[in-house]
């Protein structure tokens, strides 16, 4: 019998993406799996049930999850959803391994194998599975559009009969996947772009996109291509150099993150007070505490005429393409789990082993296991 792959409707408020987009159907079909979906699961993303040709539509979530071998999710499965799954079900999606301990314990209790998109290793072979990248790129793009829309200025230089308009100065802080896409988007809009990151390797990437790299003299390459947390002295040095750039910017996009840690605070209140009226900060790190001291997640704060926007779940606002890219990421991961039409988890495969959060009643991800064990003692 073909492996049954089920896609429930996302229930978290504000989540507009779906784990299966019609554009990815052909790719899933090639795997020889049977696709099942809860009725209306694609509506919020802009897809009608009729767009899902060949997919079996199921009325209730309980009926759907109760027969699934594999479940595809965007947001982590809730305890209620986990309770509806059969023992041994494999769930692919964001698992938020750094939080939601009771949910993770429930996954163990129910013997669910969960593969977490946050834990997919950042190696070249896994690039097509990397949802942090696909969704990060969307956030970077959209952050610039939010900044341009909220700014009382043009981004491009304009020469008109009513005079010449100088281009907006945009600063991007954090030049990872989201930051690089923000730079490219701001450049396409004609802004004058500068960017900064603690990883010096990003300087070349920033410059290749036509932006100026701000060198603060602080370098903080960490493990696995990520940044490490800065020392107090490094933070002070970084803040001093950056403050002048921030103060002179018309729009600042911040994307700085350290995996599993609260977002580094890079823009303090005093620096915001040096910015001109009408300046905009779009803080993509809002949900993990914000890169700016004044950011409030899900809100816009006006501080003396400077607008600080802290959007939540930005990829959801580009739901069609975000769902398409995310479904392809999931399909590429599922491809590694299916051999001769059957589920086969090869634990010698680094992508599968590293991505696994829970399996066989145990937490497989070291840091999450240590945190949960720490709670017991
Ligand atoms: P991220 O979202 O974890 O962080 C965003 C950026 O913030 C990073 O570039 C980081 O260096 C920067 N940052 C952290 N603290 C900072 C501070 N105090 N000041 C300024 N900047 C700060 O990063 P990401 O976009 O997910 O990418 C992380 C790394 O993974 C990069 O090296 C990227 O090239 C790599 N990557 C590899 C693959 C792959 O090979 N499969 C895919 C995607 C990304």
Look at residue 11 and tell me whether its pLDDT is greater than 90.
Answer: yes
Q: Write the DSSP symbol of residue 340.
A: T
Indicate the average pLDDT of the chain.
96
- Cα(99) to ligand 1 centroid in Å equals 21
Catalytic status, residue 16:
no
Look at residue 49 and tell me whether its pLDDT is greater than 70.
Answer: yes
Report the DSSP pairing between strands 306-309 and 280-283.
parallel
pLDDT reported for residue 219: 83
Predicted confidence band of residue 228 (pLDDT cuts 50, 70, 90): confident
Given the residues 27, 49, 226, 268, the one annotated as active site: 226
Lookup result for tokens 């960017």: 195
How deeply is 50 buried, as exposed, middle or buried, from its count of CB atoms within 10 A (0-12, 13-18, 19+)? Answer: exposed
Closest ligand 1 atom number to CA of residue 264:
18
d(C-alpha 116, C-alpha 232), whole Å? 33
pLDDT reported for residue 336: 98
- Cα(228) to ligand 1 centroid in Å equals 10
Given the residues 17, 52, 130, 316, the one annotated as active site: 130
d(C-alpha 375, C-alpha 169), whole Å? 48
Cα angle 247, 251, 252; round to 5: 75
Cα angle 177, 180, 186; round to 5: 140
Cβ(199)–Cβ(219) under 8 Å?
yes
pLDDT reported for residue 376: 63
Return the percentage of the chain with pLDDT > 70, whole number.
Answer: 99
d(C-alpha 340, C-alpha 335), whole Å? 11
pLDDT reported for residue 254: 98
User: pLDDT tens for residues 84-103?
Assistant: 999 999 999 999 999 889 99
Mutate to test the pocket of ligand 1, among 130, 257, 315 (most ligand atoms within 8 A of CB): 257
pLDDT reported for residue 377: 55
Mean pLDDT of 206-234: 88
User: pLDDT tens for residues 313-338?
Assistant: 999 999 999 999 999 999 999 999 99
Q: What pairs with residue 17 in β-bridges?
A: none
| Both tokens assigned to 272 | 């915001």
d(C-alpha 242, C-alpha 248), whole Å? 10
Q: Which residues line ligand 1 (CB under 6 A)?
A: 122-124, 126-127, 130, 132-133, 136, 173-179, 196-199, 225-227, 230, 255-259, 264, 266
Mean pLDDT of 255-281: 94
Look at residue 17 and tell me whether its pLDDT is greater than 90.
Answer: yes
| Both tokens assigned to 71 | 């479940």
Look at residue 116 and tell me whether its pLDDT is greater than 90.
Answer: yes
Count of other CB atoms within 10 angstroms of residue 184? 18
Predicted confidence band of residue 220 (pLDDT cuts 50, 70, 90): confident
d(C-alpha 185, C-alpha 228), whole Å? 27
- Among the listed residues 142, 144, 122, 140, the one whose alpha carbon sits nearest the alpha carbon of residue 131: 122
User: pLDDT tens for residues 121-157?
Assistant: 999 999 999 999 999 999 999 999 999 999 999 999 9
Catalytic status, residue 59:
no
Return the percentage of the chain with pLDDT > 90, whole number.
Answer: 89
Mean pLDDT is lowest, of 52-66, 157-171, 235-249, for: 235-249
Mutate to test the pocket of ligand 1, among 98, 122, 125, 228 (most ligand atoms within 8 A of CB): 122
């Amino acid at each position: 019998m073909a492996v049954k792959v089920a896609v429930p409707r996302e229930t978290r408020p504000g989540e507009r993406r779906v784990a299966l987009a019609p554009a990815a159907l052909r790719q899933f079909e090639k795997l020889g799996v049977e696709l099942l979906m809860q009725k209306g699961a694609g509506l919020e993303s802009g897809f009608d049930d009729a767009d899902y040709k060949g997919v079996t539509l199921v009325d209730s979530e309980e009926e759907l999850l109760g027969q699934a071998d594999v479940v595809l999710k965007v947001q982590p499965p809730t305890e209620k959803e986990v309770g509806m799954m059969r023992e041994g079900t494999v769930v692919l999606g964001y698992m938020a391994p750094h939080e939601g301990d009771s949910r993770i314990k429930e996954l163990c209790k129910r013997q669910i194998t969960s593969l977490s998109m946050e834990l997919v290793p950042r190696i070249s072979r896994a690039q097509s599975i990397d949802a942090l990248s696909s969704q990060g790129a969307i956030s970077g793009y959209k952050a610039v559009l939010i900044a341009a829309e909220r700014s009382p200025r043009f981004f491009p230089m304009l020469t008109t009969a009513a005079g010449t308009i100088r281009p907006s100065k945009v600063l991007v802080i954090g030049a990872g996947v989201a930051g690089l896409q923000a730079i490219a988007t701001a450049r396409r809009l004609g802004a004058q772009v500068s960017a900064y990151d603690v990883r010096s390797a990003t300087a070349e990437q920033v410059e290749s996109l036509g932006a100026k790299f701000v060198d603060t003299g602080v370098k903080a390459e960490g493990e696995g291509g990520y940044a490490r947390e800065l020392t107090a002295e490094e933070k002070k040095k970084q803040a001093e150099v950056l403050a002048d750039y921030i103060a002179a910017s018309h729009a600042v996009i911040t994307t700085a993150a350290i995996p599993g840690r609260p977002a580094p605070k890079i823009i303090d209140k005093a620096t915001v007070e040096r910015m001109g009226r009408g300046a905009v900060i779009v803080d993509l790190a809002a949900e993990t505490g914000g890169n700016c001291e004044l950011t409030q997640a899900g809100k816009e704060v006006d501080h003396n005429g400077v607008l600080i926007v802290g959007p939540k779940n930005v990829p959801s606002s580009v739901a069609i393409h975000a769902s398409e890219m995310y479904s392809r990421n999931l399909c590429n991961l599922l491809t590694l789990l299916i051999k001769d039409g059957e589920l086969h988890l090869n634990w010698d495969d680094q992508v599968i082993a590293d991505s696994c959060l829970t399996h066989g009643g145990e937490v497989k991800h070291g840091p999450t296991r240590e945190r949960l064990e720490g709670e017991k003692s």
